[in-house]
Structure 1
Amino acid sequence: MANGKKINTLDLIQQMTEKNKETLNAVENLKQERSENIGASGTKQHFGPKSVRKEARTPKSEGKGTSEEENPKKKNALKQLKVVLNTEAFRDGKATFTLSLSRECLDRYEKMATGISYKLGTGTSRNDLIRKVLERFIMDKYEKTIKEIELK
């Protein structure tokens, strides 16, 4: 200490601890404010309540007749799904529109798209899947539906 000033280390340590306490209090206040905002709005999915459905599974029957009947149905359903996914059916051109679906419906489409991408190795997004399902429905069911409406 060349200039002759004496520094009281105890006072310096106390000042530092007071600043640290103020900083910790400010951080805690920010955390509380943010957690209250997230809890009230419920917009963050990972903070929202989680619901898990438990499904009761029945044991498979001993007879081979039921499994042989179900297996071709599953294979046929997968073939139809692959056909839907591999079609790019825009008859006239793309038109953009906004669609609102229930959360459960969107969650199911998301789960289906993820499963298709993972299990079938076909990169599919939820929106692409919804679009293809709607296009397929119109291609397959439009004429029949219009006839039924006209009959009523």
Structure 2
Amino acid sequence: MKIVIQRVKRASVTVDRQLISEIQYGLLLFVGVEDADTAEDISYAVRKIVNMRIFSDENDKMNLSVKDISNASILSISQFTLFAATKKGNRPSFDGAGKPLFAKRLYEQFNASLACEIPTKTGQFAADMQIELLNDGPVTIILDTKNR
């Protein structure tokens, strides 16, 4: 799994001009799944994300996790383009992304695991989504479960 983690003051996702999810302060995740991903990748990613100390404490030091912040939540968006291969030519190849049925199942399992830890909202898998966000910091981190 590849996950782009962004600390946000707010984020929302719209499909067909309809707002389907929004959060205030918390994390916006862009989640890519590959066919080699397993339940172990989900467990690792969830553990790292909910415990990652990227929120400021009273001394303005990044010492707090999303679990430490009252009313924080997560917005999780599926994004197969995180597995774009760009070495050859000018058109990215997405062959490395998980096959849709498999990727959807793992994405849903990932979100369910996150929701056990912190309130989690989602986008719509395989939809043309419009994402709005106000990045806080900015703080943007890339997590690759194959690079531990």
- TM-score in terms of structure 1 length: 0.22
Structure with bigger RCO (C-alpha 8 Å, 6+ apart): 2
- TM-score in terms of structure 2 length: 0.23
The structure richer in helix per residue is 1
The structure richer in strand per residue is 2
